[in-house]
Amino acid sequence: MRTAERWNPGLVPAIRKIEGPEQVHPYLADLKASVEQGAAPLIVDCLNCAKGCNGGTATLFPERSLGQLEAPVERRSQEMRRRHRKYGPFAAARGRAALRRLVASRWRPGLYDRACVDRSTNDRRRMPTEPELQGIYRSLEKQAQEDFLDCMACGYRSCREMAVAIHNGLNRKENCARYKELQTGAEHARAGGPLVSG
């Protein structure tokens, strides 16, 4: 939002920020109707994590409140602005021109164009049998109930959906946050370092 506001002052009221899959998916499902009714924002800023990037699955303190997570980031941002306002490379007097030159040097027409095609009819996933599913869970080191986080860091809504994707060759176990966490902890233990726990 702030990047968009930098280029288009006054744009923030036209942006809607939606955080967390519990809000994002229903919002997107209703978006077409909002557009048709003229009630949709100009830009929808969707964040998968309920507390944004500062409180996602790979962050150090996801249990902290939104205020506790964002206050230090905002303080650092304000401090950097104060520090660079007068003398820094993006000081107020020359910052916008320098930023425009930087963007122009990397810009090419169509850089961010995207087109989508509905390929849902191509979905030929095979459902794993219960023994196959259990084998996938074992390969992910999901043995206890607490290993089934359904955290969606892998891009799926549940550990079960992730296992189905792995079964169909659509994802890899290395994209499971819990698996990576357990692997990192095991590597530290083998190296004689502190064990990382979740």
6: in domain: yes
Same domain, 94 and 137: no
24: in domain: yes
Digit-coded pLDDT (tens) for 85-140: 766 655 655 667 777 888 899 999 999 898 989 888 887 889 999 999 999 999 99
107: in domain: no
196: in domain: no
Same domain, 131 and 180: yes
Q: Are 141 and 103 in contact (CB under 8 A)?
A: no
21: in domain: yes
Same domain, 36 and 76: no
What does pTM read for this prediction? Answer: 0.49
- Distance CA(35)–CA(20), nearest Å, equals 21
**How many other CB atoms are found less than 10 A from the CB of residue 53?**
13
195: in domain: no
Helix, strand, or coil here: 151?
A: coil
- Distance CA(83)–CA(145), nearest Å, equals 49
Digit-coded pLDDT (tens) for 67-81: 898 899 899 988 887
Same domain, 186 and 129: yes
110: in domain: no
Digit-coded pLDDT (tens) for 157-185: 899 999 999 999 999 999 998 898 888 87
Same domain, 97 and 131: no
Same domain, 12 and 41: yes
151: in domain: yes
Count of domains for the chain? 3
- 36 to each of 30, 117, 128, 163, 166, how far by Cα in Å? 10, 21, 41, 38, 38
- DSSP assignment of 58-117: TSS-TTS-HHHHHHHHHHHHHHHHHHHHHSSTT-HHHHHHHHHHHHHHH--TTTT-----
The domain in which residue 76 lies consists of 64-101
